[in-house]
Amino acid sequence: MQKIVHFMVPRSHVNLGYFRRAGFTAIIEDFIGDKVRVQVSFCSKRDQFSRKKGREAASKAAVIEIPIKHLPKVLNSFKAGCYKNTSSDYIDPMYYKIALNFALQSITY
């Protein structure tokens, strides 16, 4: 199973200077057991966010292998990395849903 996660900052917010980056694209793939493989690319705040270019750049990025239980925190750290004032206390519930889907698919009977 492969999942692609995009996070885009609205252009008007980037221009206000609240963000370091305009967004990120992460490719998440199954691995052995309880681990997933993650590849990520960030979009510069001077660039126009493009899902297609993000997928291409992420597919060429280095692979990070992490336990599924850490996936929400890792995705949240990517999102927090787009902000200038980073506060990663709140984790988007969508990231828990993605991790849960991967965990359920990795269960074998």
47-95 pLDDT, tens digit each: 777 788 888 999 999 999 999 888 888 888 888 777 766 555 667 777 7
Contact at 8 Å (CB) between 4 and 27?
yes
Amino acid at 85: N
Residue 11's pLDDT is 65
d(CA 91, CA 70): 12
d(CA 2, CA 84): 30
Residue with more model confidence, 51 or 46: 51
d(CA 105, CA 16): 41
Name the pTM for this structure.
0.76
R_g over Cα of the chain: 14
